[in-house]
Chain A
Amino acid sequence: MKKIYSRIEAIAGNVITVHAGGVRNGELAVVSSAGRSSLAEVIRLHKEKVSLQVFAGSRGISTGDRVRFLGHPMRVSFSADLLGRIFDGGGKPRDHGPELDENMIEIGGPAVNPAQRIIPRNMIRTNIPMIDLFNSLVESQKLPVFSVSGEPYNPLLARIALQAEVDLIILGGMGLKHDDYLFFRETLEKGGALNRTVFFIHTASDPIVECLLVPDIALAVAEGFALQGRKVLVLLSDMTNFADALKEIAITMEQVPSNRGYPGDLYSQLAARYEKAVDFSGAGSITILGVTTMPGDDVTHPVPDNTGYITEGQYYLKNGRIEPFGSLSRLKQLVNNQTRGDHRALMDSMITLYAAYKESLEKKAMGFKMTDWDRKLLKYGVIFEREMMDLSVNIPLETALDNGWRILASCFSPEETRLRSELLHKYWPSREGETD
């Protein structure tokens, strides 16, 4: 019953146009020519004229190629068989394993009813002090890592994935360097996490349209597992590539660009993906950790800017460290009062002192006179950066808190920390065992 159309009328960018009837918006088609075939999705209809976005790109497509409509939108197979497998953006295996075609589910499904969400309440421990102590990650949070290219954001993601207490990890790679893809695979394999991981990988050399599919396909699978009651962590690296793919397609489609060439619906497009993060009342959860590389370290660039308005905070990765300023977890208040009595107070005190250290550093650089207090701060700042901010530090929250007290005690007198007396009484280390 499905007709085959063999007359492609226009090819522009990755979009082809054919004359066809009975086609529905969002429907999939197979475009095939001698020796190759690709999926394509209907993105615009005008009377008989159907515009399709070809997943594998339009290079080599001839006007005589055949187009066969499949009668359904983009789908992905969902079952426990996905675990440990690696797919591309179109859902095809890239690990030489068998193709899966059971229990197909649609991708890019409807939004969750806000009335069915619950207030997040569980902390996800990562054993990174800058996260656990200062900007706790919360189950169902959506949080990007803002980073300049060249920073070790992928190792950071991999490490969080390995150490986070979640049931499943889904990695969506967009425009990933092939080396980075191999790095993820090896790291997760070594960490013994491969059998609870699903990969959807689009590498930098793959067709651009597949890049657009990665978040949707990854999140559709995540949603499936979450509805089964699993805690799922979705890693998306790098969302700037996703946005750039959107830009490329929008411009090919002759859409009016809004800001630095990005389409006007960039916010809605990003939000539709990030908002999939959810804690279902009575089922599992999806936590999204993304990477947004900032071109030129510019946080006002449209991609980080729109992302910041959507996500619940951000980790700001700079010089190989998570910066305490600029980083923010909006949900940390929901969990850091349940960890240990000194968590919030110690967090505030240490950050305030670190800010004071930065000021002293500036004063020193400008040649102003250093006071005793400045010298104490300068000592503190160095220790803080070494023992708290360094990403190689790998300790549970409680140890980090204890270390925090030890650092304060090695630099300041108790009243200089502005901490409440009862906390000082309980946690201030005795003189012995003090380190320098």
Chain B
Amino acid sequence: MTKGRVVGINGNMVTVEVAGDVTMNEVAYVSCAGKKLKSEVIRIRGRLAEMQVFEMSRGIGVGDEVEFTAELLSVRLGPGLLAQVYDGLQNPLPELAAQCGFFLERGVYLSPLDEKKEWPFTPTASPGDTVTAGDALGTVPEGIFSHRIMVPFQFREPLRIERIVPVGAYRILDTIAELSDEKGGRFPVTMTFTWPVKRPVTCYRERLRPADPMVTQIRIIDTFIPVARGGTYCIPGPFGAGKTVLQQVTSRNADVDIVIIAACGERAGEVVETLREFPKLADPRTGRMLMERTIIICNTSSMPVAAREASVYTAITLAEYYRQMGLHILLLADSTSRWAQALREMSGRLEEIPGEEAFPAYLESVIAGFYERAGLVRLRDRSTGSITIGGTVSPAGGNFDEPVTQSTLKVVGAFHGLSRERSDARKYPAIHPLESWSKYPGLIHAAGTEYARDILFRGNEVGQMMKVVGEEGTALEDYELYLKSEFIDSVYLQQDSYDPVDAAVPTERQRHVFRLLFKVLASRFDFGSKEMARFFFNQLRQKFLDYNGAPWQSDDFRRYEDEILSFLETKRSGEDEEGDRILKELGGVTAGGAS
């Protein structure tokens, strides 16, 4: 084992003089006042290794001993990860609290998985079978999932199963199989193994292009700026615009198997809400508790900065592990800017030549490398699994021109930009409908959403104009366009997060409601005056909002729909040609809730 001695300390960066070989990104422990502090090698120059310490560096002195482990920064994989709350280095926080009390004591590292718990194991492979990295040896039930016990990802060569244990209860460290290679080497395998966090797991047959939408039950997202399973998206926004709320809502409603929340350098209070509420909230899809399909990785803003960077990698590695089981995972990272800032701090201490706003020059490639770990893959057993990444960005001053936002925009498939203006106007979600974009197919026929977006765009222009010339100076036709765009905004783009029905709108309902909305948009009206036009749309809006609050296909729902349709007829004079054609493609609307 290589050893070394501390020769310099600057903030959380320690310079170590090493006797022997060191590996880049190797984990080492600095001995300080009887504690061993975890650190990672980030630069090597001659016999000097520079390391970032994942803990407070106070009290470290020149001459302190350092032990190198020859292992890269890794996470422990195995059954029992779900429902856990970890810090960035996969320390289980509740267990840490039980041992150390209120504060995060440094130098205490606990096992991430319960080593005493017995899991009922059922083998799916037999002695004599040839297996390789990622192939299933058996399964154990974990919550609602069948957790595959896999050949550790390190074994890239074909191996023969010499022995495998029968059905029974085993602990994660018990040997459940023995594998052998051609040269006669024998490898005992347990239910758990480690994997370096910065190395993507690639034990799959091929990567596929993300195509199916990941439904979030937020109308503006699913209809206008959709996210695909296996895709990536980012949510930049100034403070107070509701990034975290949006992430919390998504973590509850998204149509995926497992949600991993990486709270990276943000407020502890926000994690606490998830932490305390998820164990009590029922998952609408399975009826079980939400926590059972959630993992929280939490490195809040006051926790050591170096571990912030590790936390997003820890999260993505856990996601990749579950993806290997043919599951769909959503990784929510809040916020990637804090992680980029952690890179910046370290880059400054390394005295690297700074790039824009002092961020390191490699910021872009690091961000790209992270988002590229998302994706839809076909596994070797032909099943598919996916990782979707949604990252928030906290741009300085709310200005999207800064390096982190720009680097992120280059690599993601969808952009959900939050606007201060909309959040100040208490519009939820505050996603800007015109500035945001998505490259993925959505729930609704693209021609329909394009038509609606066009009205939004032109209506917005009229709105801007009206600020200058006043209502008096606007033509009735333009005014109608403006009212239509406001109508889309208030009845479709916005949702009432406190209303149990409107807060989450499933696919079927979104398609249905969009057709009704579209019928309004494609209609031509005969108002006669602006007062009449405004009055009409006010009334229609009120009816539509009531309709949004009525449970799907309830009596109220049908009644409101009929009311809207008949009210619409009172002023309708015909329809737009193109709109009518698209409406037919969408399926049209008839009275009585049928479509």
Binding site for B on A (CB under 8 A): 21-27, 44-48, 73, 108-120, 227, 255-259, 263-265, 267-268, 271-272, 275-276, 278, 280, 283, 300-302, 305-306, 308-310, 312-313, 325-326, 328, 330-331, 366, 368
Q: Which residue on B lies nearest to A367, using beta carbons?
A: B470
* In contact, A312 and B397 (Cβ under 8 angstroms): no
Q: Nearest 5 pairs between A and B by C-beta?
A: A300-B397, A275-B302, A271-B301, A26-B58, A258-B358
Q: Which residue on A lies nearest to B423, using beta carbons?
A: A328
* In contact, A118 and B276 (Cβ under 8 angstroms): yes
**A37 to B279 CA separation, bound complex (whole angstroms):** 56
Instruction: Kindly identify which residue among B271, B277, B344, B358 contacts A114, using a CB–CB cutoff of 8 Å.
Output: B271
Q: Which residue on A lies nearest to B61, using beta carbons?
A: A24
**A255 to B11 CA separation, bound complex (whole angstroms):** 12
* In contact, A112 and B104 (Cβ under 8 angstroms): yes
**A280 to B265 CA separation, bound complex (whole angstroms):** 20
B62 CB–A CB distance under 8 Å: yes
Instruction: Kindly identify which residue among A256, A258, A368 contacts B470, using a CB–CB cutoff of 8 Å.
Output: A368
Q: Which residue on A lies nearest to B273, using beta carbons?
A: A119
Measured CB to CB, the closest approach of chain B to A74, in angstroms, equals 10
Knowing A308-B239, A308-B240 are in contact, say whether A259-B396 is a contact too (CB < 8 A): yes
* In contact, A114 and B63 (Cβ under 8 angstroms): no
Q: Which residue on B lies nearest to A363, using beta carbons?
A: B470
Q: Name 10 interchain pairs, CB-CB below 8 A, sorted by A.
A: A25-B58, A110-B106, A111-B303, A112-B302, A113-B97, A265-B11, A268-B345, A300-B399, A302-B396, A305-B396
Which residues does chain B contribute within 8 Å of A325, judged by CB atoms? 424
Knowing A110-B105, A265-B305, A275-B302 are in contact, say whether A305-B239 is a contact too (CB < 8 A): yes
B280-321 interface mask toward A, CB cutoff 8 Å, 1 = contact, 0 = none? 000000000000000000101111010000000000000000
* In contact, A110 and B56 (Cβ under 8 angstroms): yes
Instruction: Kindly identify which residue among B103, B298, B344 contacts A258, using a CB–CB cutoff of 8 Å.
Output: B344
Segment among B2-10, B169-177, B456-464, B479-487 that sits at the interface with chain A: B2-10
Knowing A110-B106, A227-B102 are in contact, say whether A268-B301 is a contact too (CB < 8 A): yes
Which residues does chain B contribute within 8 Å of A368, judged by CB atoms? 470
Knowing A112-B104, A258-B358 are in contact, say whether A264-B62 is a contact too (CB < 8 A): no
B233-261 interface mask toward A, CB cutoff 8 Å, 1 = contact, 0 = none? 00000111000000000000000000000
Measured CB to CB, the closest approach of chain B to A333, in angstroms, equals 9
Instruction: Kindly identify which residue among B9, B10, B97, B269 contacts A115, using a CB–CB cutoff of 8 Å.
Output: B97
* In contact, A264 and B341 (Cβ under 8 angstroms): yes
**A234 to B283 CA separation, bound complex (whole angstroms):** 40
**A256 to B101 CA separation, bound complex (whole angstroms):** 38
Which residues does chain A contribute within 8 Å of B62, judged by CB atoms? 21-23, 45, 47-48
Which residues does chain A contribute within 8 Å of B272, judged by CB atoms? 114, 117-119
Question: Which of B60, B268, B348 has most A Cβ within 10 Å?
Answer: B268
Which parts of B180-207 form the interface with A (CB within 8 Å)? Answer: none
**A110 to B302 CA separation, bound complex (whole angstroms):** 8
* In contact, A114 and B298 (Cβ under 8 angstroms): yes
* In contact, A310 and B345 (Cβ under 8 angstroms): no
Which residues does chain B contribute within 8 Å of A306, judged by CB atoms? 396
* In contact, A309 and B239 (Cβ under 8 angstroms): yes
Measured CB to CB, the closest approach of chain A to B432, in angstroms, equals 18
B545 CB–A CB distance under 8 Å: no
**A275 to B269 CA separation, bound complex (whole angstroms):** 9
Question: Which of A25, A227, A255, A272 has most B Cβ within 10 Å?
Answer: A25
Which residues does chain B contribute within 8 Å of A330, judged by CB atoms? 240
Binding site for A on B (CB under 8 A): 7-11, 15, 56-63, 85, 93-94, 96-97, 100-106, 238-240, 265, 267-269, 271-273, 275-277, 298, 300-303, 305, 338, 341-342, 344-345, 348, 351, 354, 357-359, 394, 396-399, 424, 470
* In contact, B397 and A114 (Cβ under 8 angstroms): no
* In contact, A110 and B397 (Cβ under 8 angstroms): no
Which residues does chain A contribute within 8 Å of B424, judged by CB atoms? 325-326
Knowing A110-B56, A113-B96, A114-B300 are in contact, say whether A119-B276 is a contact too (CB < 8 A): yes
Question: Which of A108, A308, A309 has most B Cβ within 10 Å?
Answer: A309
* In contact, B358 and A264 (Cβ under 8 angstroms): yes
Which residues does chain A contribute within 8 Å of B85, judged by CB atoms? 114-115
Q: Which residue on B lies nearest to A271, using beta carbons?
A: B301
Q: Which residue on A lies nearest to B394, using beta carbons?
A: A309
Knowing A47-B62, A264-B348 are in contact, say whether A111-B101 is a contact too (CB < 8 A): no
* In contact, A310 and B301 (Cβ under 8 angstroms): yes
**A97 to B8 CA separation, bound complex (whole angstroms):** 41
**A4 to B158 CA separation, bound complex (whole angstroms):** 66
**A328 to B424 CA separation, bound complex (whole angstroms):** 10
* In contact, A256 and B354 (Cβ under 8 angstroms): yes
Which residues does chain B contribute within 8 Å of A267, judged by CB atoms? 265, 301, 338, 341
Measured CB to CB, the closest approach of chain A to B511, in angstroms, equals 31
Knowing A23-B61, A256-B354 are in contact, say whether A272-B97 is a contact too (CB < 8 A): no
Known: A111-B104, A305-B396. 13 other contacts (CB 8 A): A25-B58, A113-B104, A114-B300, A116-B101, A119-B273, A256-B351, A268-B305, A271-B301, A275-B301, A308-B238, A309-B239, A309-B394, A312-B267
**A5 to B252 CA separation, bound complex (whole angstroms):** 61
Knowing A47-B8, A258-B357, A267-B341 are in contact, say whether A113-B59 is a contact too (CB < 8 A): no
Measured CB to CB, the closest approach of chain A to B305, in angstroms, equals 5
Which residues does chain B contribute within 8 Å of A268, judged by CB atoms? 265, 301, 305, 341-342, 345
Knowing A113-B100, A275-B301 are in contact, say whether A46-B239 is a contact too (CB < 8 A): no
**A140 to B7 CA separation, bound complex (whole angstroms):** 41
Knowing A24-B61, A111-B302 are in contact, say whether A46-B275 is a contact too (CB < 8 A): no
Which residues does chain B contribute within 8 Å of A44, judged by CB atoms? 8-11
Which residues does chain A contribute within 8 Å of B63, judged by CB atoms? 21-22
* In contact, B102 and A113 (Cβ under 8 angstroms): yes
Instruction: Kindly identify which residue among B61, B342, B344 contacts A45, using a CB–CB cutoff of 8 Å.
Output: B61
* In contact, A47 and B7 (Cβ under 8 angstroms): yes
Knowing A113-B103, A275-B268 are in contact, say whether A25-B470 is a contact too (CB < 8 A): no
* In contact, B103 and A46 (Cβ under 8 angstroms): no
Q: Which residue on A lies nearest to B272, using beta carbons?
A: A117
Knowing A111-B303, A119-B276 are in contact, say whether A256-B57 is a contact too (CB < 8 A): no
Instruction: Kindly identify which residue among A26, A117, A280 contacts B268, using a CB–CB cutoff of 8 Å.
Output: A117
* In contact, B240 and A264 (Cβ under 8 angstroms): no
Which residues does chain A contribute within 8 Å of B273, judged by CB atoms? 119
Which residues does chain A contribute within 8 Å of B298, judged by CB atoms? 114
**A259 to B397 CA separation, bound complex (whole angstroms):** 11
Knowing A109-B103, A267-B301 are in contact, say whether A116-B97 is a contact too (CB < 8 A): yes
Q: Which residue on B lies nearest to A283, using beta carbons?
A: B102
Which residues does chain B contribute within 8 Å of A108, judged by CB atoms? 58
Which residues does chain A contribute within 8 Å of B267, judged by CB atoms? 275, 310, 312
Knowing A119-B273, A256-B348 are in contact, say whether A114-B305 is a contact too (CB < 8 A): no
**A278 to B267 CA separation, bound complex (whole angstroms):** 11
Instruction: Kindly identify which residue among A113, A259, A312 contacts B93, using a CB–CB cutoff of 8 Å.
Output: A113
* In contact, A110 and B60 (Cβ under 8 angstroms): no
Which residues does chain A contribute within 8 Å of B11, judged by CB atoms? 44, 265
Measured CB to CB, the closest approach of chain A to B88, in angstroms, equals 12
Which residues does chain B contribute within 8 Å of A24, judged by CB atoms? 58-61
**A48 to B269 CA separation, bound complex (whole angstroms):** 42
* In contact, B240 and A111 (Cβ under 8 angstroms): no
**A32 to B397 CA separation, bound complex (whole angstroms):** 44
